[in-house]
Amino acid sequence: MLKVKIVSTGNEELDQKLAGGLPIPALIVIEGAHGSGKTIVVQQFVYGALKSGLRVVVITTENTTIGYVRSMMSAGFDVLEYYVKGQLTVYSTQIPRIKWVSSTSKDILGLILNHMVESIEKYDVYVVDSFSLPIEGSKLEDIANFLTTTKRVVDRGKQVILTIHPGKLVEPIYVTLKAVADGYIVLKNVEMGGRALKAMDIIKMKGVPTVFDNVITFDVDPAFGIKLVPMALAKV
C-alpha cells in the first residue's frame, strides 16, 4: 500500500486549515458553480505542487494554454519558470476553427484518458479544469471507465484533480464520483456582513491527519490569489 504524503498548497494559511496541505496519491474533486472560485483554487493547488517539486499537467477546457498561464501569473502565481522548464505543462481543448458537436465530448474524454495513462511516468499531478465539458454527451459507460482508470492512475502514486459544475453529472455517476473520490470540496458564493466572499466546504479529505475547519471562507485577491477571511472578521 502506497504511503500518503502531504503536499503544500503554497498558501501557508490554507495549509494550516488543511492540516498541512493536500494528500498524494489522491483523486480530488472540486465542485462549484460558475464564479465560485474553482479555477483559482485549482491554480493555488497547482502552484503548491510546483513549489514542492512535483511535475504537473493541466488540461483546461475553458481557456487557451497561454491564457491559462497568464491567468495564473495575474493571480500572483509566478509559474513562468516552471512552464518554460517543462515542470508545468498546460493543454487546451479549445481548438481554433473546430466546431464542437455532440461527439466531441466523447472524443475529448477519450483523449484525456489516453494521455493520462500514456504519460503516467511523466507527471505527478494531473488536473482537468473543467471535467464538466468532456462528460457532456459522453455515455455513462465511458464516464465510468474514465473514473475506474483514474483510480488506477491514483493507485500508481499520482494525484488527479477534477473540477465539475453542479448538475452536470447524472445521479449514478455523481454518486459514484463522490464515493470514489479521496477528497471532495464544494465551493460556494456567500455573503457575510455585507461582503461577497467564497466558501470552501470540505466534504471529505482522506489521508490528512485532521481537517481543522470543514468550512473555509476566503476572498480572491487579484494580485495575491486566495486570501483567507476569518469568520469573525467576515461578519464585521
- DSSP string for residues in 55-117: -EEEEESSS-HHHHHHHHHHTT---HHHHHHTSEEEEES--TTPPP-TTHHHHHHHHHHHHHH
Q: Is the pLDDT of residue 160 over 80?
A: yes
Range from 44-58, 127-141, 174-188 that averages highest in pLDDT: 44-58
Q: How far apart are CA 20 and CA 12, in angstroms?
A: 8
pLDDT digits (tens, 9 = 90+) for 193-227: 788 999 999 999 988 776 567 899 999 887 778 89
**Candidates 3.40.50.300, 3.40.50.1360, 3.30.450.20, 2.40.10.10; correct CATH number of 5-234?**
3.40.50.300
Distance in angstroms (rounded) separating the CA atoms of residues 38 and 201: 12
For the chain, give the percent of residues with pLDDT over 70. Answer: 90
User: Strand, helix or coil at 139?
Assistant: coil
Q: Which residues of 95-111 are buried (b: 16+ CB within 10 A; e: fewer)?
A: eeeeeeeeebbbebbee
pTM: 0.92
What are the residue ranges spanned by the domains of the chain? 5-234
What tens digit of pLDDT does each residue of 94-118 get? 765 555 555 666 788 889 999 999 9
**Rounded to an integer, what distance in angstroms lies between the CA atom of residue 6 and that of residue 130?**
24
Task: Classify residue 147 as left (phi > 0), alpha (psi -120 to 50) or beta.
Answer: alpha
Residue 207 DSSP class:
T
